[in-house]
Each structure stands twice: as structure tokens, then as C-alpha cells.
Amino acid sequence: MNIVEEYNQILQAAEYIKSLSECLPDTAIILGSGMAPIIDKCSIILSIPYKKIPYFPTTTIEGHVGNLMIARLGSKDVFVMQGRFHFYEGYSAKEITFPIRVLSILNVHNLILTNAAGGLSTEMEAGDLLTVSDHLSFNCESPLRGMNLDQFGPRFPDQTEIYNRKFIELLNEIAKQQSIRIHTGVYAYMKGPQYETPAEISVLRNMGVSAVGMSTVPEAIVASHCGMRIAAISCISNLASGMTSGGLSHNEVILAAKKASEKMGILIESFVERIPD
């Protein structure tokens, strides 16, 4: 596909969404594994199955329902992506991040990314939250590879501050006010779908990583390229490989994330109300 075709597909998807609603919020939330219960805090204005949006991928993983919603959260309207896409599902980095481009065309300026992640600190417990301050993308196929989409951003985008510092400060302030256990640290991206080995976790811990997962980073790279302000929050669903005596399973991740989703919902609702201009 050439760059003109790629851009036209983005425009067609955006136009389809515009044709269904006059309400186009400037903030979007992407729900990770087990985060679907956050929807219970919202009043749904419009729900669009991904399969109906031109050129959108479809979800294949448990815990990722597959709807783009326009919803009222507290007193604010937001886009909510009820499920995301992953490299391990067979999608390319560009396909994973296609919705971010579409949201940018719809004038979304604030993006809240959520995920379930393995914790790499012995101070963490399953169900804790973590605000992402930076990431490692060594294992991430760059979604910016190929001809640059100049309509969104430069060929060589700066990555000094992908995650907005004011957003991080506000999230931590709200968590403290609500007595929610929260950490701040670096998130490392791994392609999956296999979980990391104890040796890999040991290396990541030595590199100063706080959490590891299989999402978020591709979307953050593209959102940054689009000029969006980004916040990312991880639900620590388990301690990573080699840090406990037992093994890991996706069902345990989903269950832990669901238990933490109430805290995540409280945090995000308060955050959306107080997003600085």
C-alpha cells in the first residue's frame, strides 16, 4: 500500500465515525485486558463495532470486546476503545496503530492508554497501578517505518517526553487523594504472545524497568507523532516470571485486571474531569 492509499483509508474511517455522531470528544481512552468494567462508569452515547468501521482491525483476544464508544464519563464526553490490537495477533505495527491516526483526524488531543502488565518490583502487589513515565521500545517494530505521513508529524519525531509530565503528576495526586496504591516507572514492550523468561525479566530489572507488557508502546509512539498528550496507566496483574514460585496464565491476568478496574475507573474519571488545558 502506498502512502496516499494509507492516508485515504484513515480519512474514510474518520468520515464514517463523523457520519454517526456530532459529538466528537477531544479525549480518548483505550481499555486494556480486563479493563472493560470501566464502561460501567460511563453513559453510552454511541457504540460502533470495530468491524463496521472501514479498515479497522478486529479484536481476537479475551477481555477485548471490540467497540469504539462515545460516552459520558462524569461530566465529560470521551471516546472509549473497548479493546485494542496486538502484534502477536498477527497485525502489523501500522494496523495496530491505525485507530490512533483516525482519532487524530477526529481532533483527539488527549490519549489515555491502559494495560495489564507484569510488575518487576518486589514493592508491587497484584492490583496495584503504575503511571508510565517512559518506555523501552527495543522489541517494538516501529509503526513509523516506511514513508512518513507528513500530515501528522515529522520524519524523525522527538521522544524526550512521550508521557506528559503534568498528566503523571495529576494522576499521582488523584491516586494519593483516593488512597489508591500507585507507582511510577518505565514500561517495557515485548512482542509476545509468550510471557517473558526469568532471564529476560532479570535483564529488564537491571535496566530499571518497572513493568512489562505486550501493548501500549506502538500506540504511544504514533500518538506522540500525531502531537497528542499521552497518559499511560498499567494495572499490575502479577509479578513477572521468576519473581514468584508459580507460573503465569492469561486467565489470572484477566481476573487481576478486573479486580483493579474499579480503582482504575475512579482514577480515570477524576483525571478526565481535571485534564489541564
Question: What one-character-per-residue DSSP string does 119-165 give?
Answer: E--TT--TT-EEEEEEEE-TTPPPTT-SS--TTT--SS---TTSB-H
- Given 14, 64, 126, 189, which residue is catalytic? 64
Which residue in 67, 164, 238, 261 is the catalytic one? 238
Looking only at the bridges linking them, the beta strands covering 42-49 and 67-73 are: antiparallel
Residue (of 212, 254, 233) closest to 37 by Cα position: 254
From 67, 81, 86, 228, the catalytic residue: 86
Q: In the numeric block, which cell numbers belong to residue 256?
A: 487481576
Q: Catalytic one among 89, 196, 219, 269?
A: 89
Instruction: Single out the catalytic residue among 116, 126, 190, 256.
Output: 116
CA dist list (Å): 211 to 80, 131, 163, 232: 24, 10, 15, 12
The dihedral sign for the CA sequence 2, 160, 184, 241: positive
Examine the residue annotation and report whether 109 is marked as an active-site residue of this protein.
no
Q: Which one from 214, 220, 223, 232 is the annotated catalytic residue?
A: 214
Question: Is 88 one of the annotated active-site residues of the chain?
Answer: yes
89 is known as an active-site residue: yes
- Is 238 a residue of the active site? yes
**CA atoms of 263 and 79, how far apart (whole Å):** 20
Q: Is 81 exposed, middle or buried (0-12, 13-18, 19+ CB in 10 A)?
A: buried
Based on the residue annotation, tell me whether 116 is a catalytic residue of this protein.
Answer: yes
CA dihedral 22, 27, 32, 34 (to 10 degrees): -70
Active-site residue (options: 13, 14, 33, 190): 33
Known catalytic residue at 86: yes
From 215, 224, 234, 241, the catalytic residue: 215
Q: 214 catalytic, yes or no?
A: yes
Active site residues: 33, 64, 86, 88-89, 116, 214-215, 238, 250
